Amino acid sequence: MIKDDSITSHFKELRTRIIKSFLFFGISLVVLLPFNKLIFEFFSTFVSRTIEQNLIAIEVASPFFVPLKLVFFIAFLLTFPYLIFQILSFMSPGLYKQERKIIFSRTVWGSILFYLGIIFCISVVLPNVFYFFQNIGPENLAISTDIGKFYDFSLNLMIAFGVTFQIPLLINAIISFGLITKNKLRKYRGIFLIFCFFVGMVFTPPDIISQIFLAVPMYILFELGLAFTNEKKT
């Protein structure tokens, strides 16, 4: 009976924390929605500086849905750290003090690296990728890009880079928990480099520039993870 009550209380706490996360997302959404046009104008300004062409709306509803998608994405970015905090707070009673410190610190760094990946994608990758696409075709060819497809393309790349920037933490975790040694990982450098280009081929458009922009940072982050991780002394 006591065990059942304990399980029930855990489920109630989990439900409460999930509800809190959804409420945080909803509040972020409500706060941002009145500024959806301003956010879209900022996005359009970025586009005009990134690509030398005007965006068009092929679908009738695109001018309505694209600003909403932007608002939802920004609300998710704002909610992400709070969601992780709620998950870890739910888990923390069952962890030792040192384990809580490790998990919380890595969560903070994971959030920072996720945002850095998105910033790197916006400031470096997207401008160069679009420059490549614009200049690879005939000079007399007029290019018009659909706003919806442009947004989906940019969002997919941003998420890919946000996830990619978690590699140092992944390397740190598997070494710290003794799953593999640094020396063994060093031996797999060549294999990981091939894997980086495979990931670039799968998660980016079918051009070598996008693949290089994803594969090279992946490998550099792999090396950084090795460099800044110390093995436990036995």
pTM to 2 decimal places: 0.77
User: What values do phi and psi take at 56, rounded to 5?
Assistant: -125, 160
pLDDT by residue (tens digit) across 173-223? 788 777 788 888 888 888 988 998 888 888 776 667 778 888 898 899 999
Distance CA 118, CA 106 (A): 18
pLDDT by residue (tens digit) across 74-87? 998 888 888 877 87
Averaged confidence pLDDT in the chain: 80
- Residue-range domain boundaries for the chain: 2-165
Amino acid at 19: I
Q: Specify burial of residue 222 (Cβ count, 10 A radius: 0-12, 13-18, 19+).
A: buried
Distance CA 196, CA 213 (A): 10
Distance CA 210, CA 132 (A): 9
